[in-house]
Amino acid sequence: MSSLLKLKPHLWPLCVNGLSNLSPILSFVSSLILASPFSLTGMYDLEEEEEEEDQYEGQNVQGEPSSEQQPTEQEMDLDEDDSIHLFEGHTEGVFAAAWSPVRPDVIATGGGDDRAFVWRAGQAAFEENQGAVLELTGHTDTVSSLQFSSDSNLLATGGMDGRVKIWNMQGECIQTLEGPAEAIEWLQWHPKGGVVLAGAADFTAWMWLAATGACMQVFSGHAGPIACGGFTPDGKTVITGGGDGDSSLKIWEPKTGECRGTVMGPHDFHTLGLTCLDMHEDSSVVITGGEDSAVRLVNIAGTGRVVGKLLGGHTEENSSIEGVAFVKQLPLAVSVGIDGKLVSWDVGVCSSRLTCQHPDGVTKLALHPTEPLAFTGCLDGVVRCWDLRSGECARTFRGHRESIQSLAVSMDGSMIVSGSDDGTCRVFSMV
């Protein structure tokens, strides 16, 4: 019987960099409800003996492999696996992944099998709990988004069933947050408290008190699905972006539910629906990406206004932008798209600084917490690390057999987790 978690023993020192001195998370591991022992890949004694016996089979008299035995380039790529940890709990594609902001080896994932899991990566997990995981069941459709609370004591999951569920670290669903009539597009915890915000496909966004499940606000006014949004970093404003059929950005007062500004218009803003956004750490500017391949900067003070049209990067018409982000270490922003490009933008002059080309469309973007590095997930199943100072591809991580659908970086930047249409999650080490 295959296990859910597979750890390569010879790579343990890489995946537990700095973790061995942490105290055990006893309250977490004691409550794990689904035990699944690690399968210790890398113990190859028996396989090596068989390979030694068979190594001359299929060879010609000169000892070279015959043409029938030579692997194709595609087969060699499929055999390549750079991951240090493999999670196989999901039975369908994995569309959401998040690292705990407090516990550097704890990961949550959600998938098309209507389930979420909480699991741990690294040697400490193997030594303490033999690879046990929390299986979170209760959604009736794909778990498309999830996030840990700031103290990591709770996990919020959002499903295509229109429900948001709140889980404790004993695997218990303590609240089901209801209201939206259609799928949850995204969710976010308030940066300073136990409040959850979520955008839905029914053109509304909802804000709940997680402890009681009470609805605090409903933000209504979009003419299409609310494809992206969140709290500003200071927690004082709610921003929402309209998707297909809308293409507007709205600025809300969370206490009153009042919309204080709407940014829209084909000349200055987007001509098609928004797909993603990110907020500057000073809570004054938002960067947006859309289905129209456009990237915009919006000052959200007052009623909001477009302050930058980032041109010259994504030139393929109506090629969707899949991720945008501000770079904390440099005065830059980045965007990725289905055109296969990662573009670095100089936000001061609103022009592209460099372009990093992928062999296929880019679906996911994540940034390193302390270094100017960007991670991309691609339709070719490869995760790449780009140095934003030079534009060079610093690392390439292979192992997935299908496209990347989720990507997250650990709180210390030492590990990356990716989820794929192949139903697996892989952890890669930056050490």
At 68-92, the pLDDT tens digits run 444 444 444 557 999 999 999 999 9
What pLDDT is attached to residue 23?
Answer: 40
In a domain, 50, yes or no: no
**Among 334, 233, 236, 228, CA closest to 279:** 233
- Whole-model pTM: value is 0.83
| Bridge partners for 427 per DSSP | 85, 417
The H-or-E segment that residue 419 falls in is strand 415-420
Phi and psi, residue 265, nearest 5° = 125, 130
Looking at the structure of the chain, the number of domains it has is 1
Six-digit token pair at 424? 């697996």
* Contact by Cβ (8 Å): 222, 229: no
What pLDDT is attached to residue 190?
Answer: 97
What pLDDT is attached to residue 335?
Answer: 98
In a domain, 2, yes or no: no
| Segment 269-316, tens digit of pLDDT | 999 999 999 999 999 999 999 999 999 999 998 889 999 999 888 988
In a domain, 46, yes or no: no
82: which DSSP letter? -
In a domain, 289, yes or no: yes
What pLDDT is attached to residue 17?
Answer: 40
- We report the CATH number of the domain holding residue 373 as 2.130.10.10
What whole-number distance in Å separates Cα of residue 118 and Cα of residue 110?
A: 9
| Segment 8-37, tens digit of pLDDT | 544 443 333 433 333 433 344 344 333 343
What whole-number distance in Å separates Cα of residue 85 and Cα of residue 234?
A: 35
In a domain, 67, yes or no: no
What pLDDT is attached to residue 7?
Answer: 59
> In whole angstroms, how large is the CA radius of gyration of the chain?
23
What pLDDT is attached to residue 249?
Answer: 98
In a domain, 54, yes or no: no
Query: Which residue range(s) make up the domain with 247?
Result: 92-119+132-429
* Contact by Cβ (8 Å): 287, 324: yes
Neighbours of 45 (CB within 10 A): 7
